[in-house]
Structure 1
């Protein structure tokens, strides 16, 4: 069986919990071959972002073009874009792409640091969103894209999801982790349907990179040929398991990462003897 190839276009997280590093793990854990075009380097750890070094747009373009010139791309995940210029460049590179595109509109890091410049929001909304097969905003991100207040109820989540679909994307997965209810509900809105996905909320502080992880998992599932609803169900089950086992890791003293390989990871055996 052919293994699908997935390209992530996003920023780097040297601590390994979010960004490109999380994407590579999540794509691999979901059965695809992972590739990466880096838009920004960050200095960060589990306690927050200390610095951002942007990759020149021309070199972002060179990375993406190098992949498409040589390698079959079965899905694309877009994460941290950072600037309007990089967003325009990515949109230009993906014009005419017939592979599924998952857009995760990364705007603010877990610790509160801004990861998208204010003038880039309109470009992400007007240029990248219409290219997307699936957009995966959390509730603050969805509100920011729409210029409205953050949804606080399921009814408002549904309404904002429909408003984003009307802006040109095929489907939106409204991630409900910011709701205060005991569950963690997500709402999938397509052009002609709406479906809720439920999962138990895990009490842990190790949730760094969850948005990156689930969007990358979705890209891998779509690359394998699954329909959007099936892909969402699989990706949500994957991230729920990764969060549920996150406390098995001892990474940093702040918001730690999820356990991307919880399903397959086993202790390394000592074979020295």
Structure 2
């Protein structure tokens, strides 16, 4: 099953009801056992989805009616991160074992399937103009970048999986940020990606915890209340930042005009 989300204007957010904000920007329900669910957003043509194989094996659907192709990656590239327990991804018959928060990049033209009784695979695909080989991205082997501080309740570690350097991609960037225990803020102070759309998937929250995710233009922000394994679409004109009621991590993924990680515009707290 795949949903389609259309682009929205910045002015519509300022006057939107909470239910409208959730309908446009929140992506819940991606992870259902034995199924593949996804959302296609017209913002930079991203597809975000979840595959929970259970006792079987799941193929990455083509969704021909939406993508216009016979195979999902005919004109796309893919990033995968396992948010469950160990499982594996088959790429053209080659097996890639993924533990919790391990990632995988898959280039254009490949066929992909998912397996693992307790695995839950999050994936993001984006249009690609070039083909690059599949690469496994072991979470434990990625050197994290320390950001923020305990004093500002924003201490976190950024794991860059695909970010425009080291790993060749056509367009896609993705990685994981883990919030340190005792801190609550992510991406604070916030910024804008005027040339790219970004999606956050919040993971590893306890059942009763939530993240208050802020979106909208600087000076006119709104918020969403987000639970575990729920995603938020951030259009290029929107800030993206959040604060959690407990420990959590989030998976970030971007695509758009380029794959330069530093192509962003900082927003000061005064501007908010």
Alignment TM class, shorter chain as reference: 0.3 to 0.5
Q: Normalized per residue, which structure has more helix?
A: 1
